[in-house]
Structure 1
Amino acid sequence: MNDQNQRTYASAGIVWYYTQLNQLQPAEQVILDRFKPQLSSMRMLDIGIGGGRTTNVFAPLVKEYVGIDYSAEMVAACQKRFAKNLPSLALEIADARAMQQFADDSFDFILFSFNGIDYVPEGDRLKIFEEVKRVGKSGGYFCFSSHNLQGLQKTFSLKASMSLNPLQTYVNLVMLALFKVLNPTVNAHQLATADRLIVRDESHNFRLRTYYIRPAAQLKQLEPYFYNAEVYSWQSGRNLSTQDALVQNEELWLYYLCQIS
């Protein structure tokens, strides 16, 4: 993460926000259901645990659970949250770009949820893939979510800001105006033609610089490290198994599930 992103995730209000979250997203639930028969035999690494949203669900189900986060404040909040029910839970401060504390081939299942991978520059993103490939077992699974540039392209348009609700239209137009002011070099042509962009979006009141990528470009980016990559709708959990489904999808983020080479 860059310094601004790091400071955001360390702030008390943001930490509190993440400790209030409990529910899996639809795509996460689909993936949980798929692996549920195997989880009891899996060693799991949960990257970017935040306030413990996924810890709450996965830790009781897997053979061994290790949760990490870049933010010491998030880890402390998570430890406090589970001190009574899961007192021996393994939670650590760690950076996904350099996980030297873990040996090669350590984990059967690695999760990096809530688009946490989108808050580092592209070079660091590739370092994360390299580290996941190293600490994950060959044939094991890596699941992560990432922002969809096609979704950003849709929300950037004036037409998409219009609503039958005048108040909602006003809010949408204010957000669109703020986006344009805070990203003066980003224009409609870039959004339509680029494979990936890093922008200041509305996440936590435009405090974060966020990485957006088209699904086809994301699949290409994964090829040196993983295989059998699948893409899931964030909102419905549907497997987007055709090229048309990938190209036409305009959700703001998607889930990727792949096997480790």
Structure 2
Amino acid sequence: MNPQSQSELDRINRIAWNSPDATREFTAQKTFSDLGEQAAFDWLGPRCAGQPLLDIGIGAGRTIPLMTAISDDYTGVDYTLKLLELAKERFPERDLRHMDARDMSELPSAHYGLVEFSWNGIDCVDYVDRVKILKEMYRVVRPGGYVLFSTHNRGGPGYGENLRQLLPAFTFNPLKLGWRTLRSLRRLQLGTLNYLRNARLNHDYGSYAVNTAAAHNFGIVIVYTTLAEQRRQLAEIGFQRDVVFGSCDGGRIPDDVQTSSTWWFHFIAHKPLAARCFD
């Protein structure tokens, strides 16, 4: 993507992904991001075993072992070269490519049995580009194949985070309180600066919102969506929705539920066998 065409939201988030804080976060030894992701992989594993897999937004490679446990036919992509190089160092045997999910034209259409975009990566572009990503996921997944992505909940506790998140959580243990205070003081200046600079982009559109988030010292601005809006968007593109898992307890969110208190959702949908074409 041409840097001149980047939105302000996109520009801010790219800076965050290249920061030392992001490097520390994405190289930490983690498996599943939460119980909802684990439930999603448990659901998809037997359905996608042995099929070609596409992993979008791999960062430093957290999801590579999770995906390759399903199938060894694996391709991973990320648009942040710094993080991608870390992933290549860790997994030199894997097919890892520098690529923006909004334009995956070098990948074949109707090929992958599973296309996955984890850790709310789809929330880090504006809403128009979000649609581009979902259309590209639809294009590259084979008829009958699945997509999995996570997205922040407009009705969840993460929406509307503010500078209070920088203050230390109180505890009667003086050692813990002292440590938390020191850690907060280290973050306070940068976090406050980022919040004041980025909060100007906050806007509530009703069915979804754009808002600065506390992660990376308020260094990112992301999309928060509702169940109804994400369901509508998937149907409009042509996907058939299968299941939604909540991040907090990994529970399945029923189709008739309209609101949830979970931090984010894990949506699984599939491309119908008689699918429209975006080529």
Q: Which residue of 1 aligns with 2:249?
A: 236
SS of structure 2 residue aligned to 1:256: strand
How does 1:120-139 map onto structure 2 within 5 Å? 120-139=125-144
Matched position secondary structure for 1:104: coil
Partner of residue 198, structure 1: 210
d(CA) in 1 for partners of 2:197, 2:171: 24
CA distance in structure 2 between the partners assigned to 1:184 and 1:63 by the alignment? 44
Distance in 1 (alpha carbons) for counterparts of 2:269 and 2:47: 16
What number of residue pairs does the alignment pair up? 246
Question: Identity of paired residues, percent?
Answer: 26
Matched, 1:40 2:49: yes
CA contact (8 A) 2:160 2:211 kept: no
Corresponding residue for residue 31 of structure 1: 40
- Against the structure 1 CA distance between its residues 100 and 236, is the aligned structure 2 distance closer, same or farther, given a 3 Å change threshold? same
Q: How far apart are 1:185 and its partner, in Å?
A: 7.5
Q: Identify unmatched segments of 5+ residues in structure 1.
A: none
TM-score, length-normalised on structure 2? 0.77
Report the residue type matching 1:10 in the other structure: N
The match for 2:277 is none
* Counterpart-to-counterpart distance in 2, 1:39 and 1:110: 10
CA distance in 1: counterparts of 2:136 and 2:82, whole angstroms: 23
State the SS of the aligned residue for 2:217. coil
Return structure 1 stretches of 4+ with deviation > 3 angstroms: 152-156, 163-168, 178-182
Q: Choose from 235, 238, 241 the match for 1:223.
A: 235
Of residues 224, 228, 252, the one that matches 2:263 is 252
Structure 2 unaligned regions, length at least 5: 1-5, 273-279
Distance 1:110 1:14 in 2: 24
User: Is the 1:105–1:135 contact (alpha carbons within 8 Å) kept by the matching residues of 2?
Assistant: yes
Aligned to 2:67: 58
Letter in 1 for 2:122: I
C-alpha root-mean-square deviation of aligned residues, in Å?
Answer: 3.0
1:125 is paired with a residue whose SS is helix
- Letter of the 2:226 partner, please give it: R
Match of 1:140 among 122, 141, 145: 145
- Separation in structure 1 between the aligned mates of residue 161 and residue 242 of structure 2, nearest angstrom: 27
Contact in 1 for aligned 2:244/2:267 (Cα 8 Å):
yes
Which aligned pairs between 1:92-107 and structure 2 lie closer than 5 A?
92-107=97-112
Task: With the length of structure 1 as denominator, give the TM-score of the two structures.
Answer: 0.82
Letter in 2 for 1:128: I
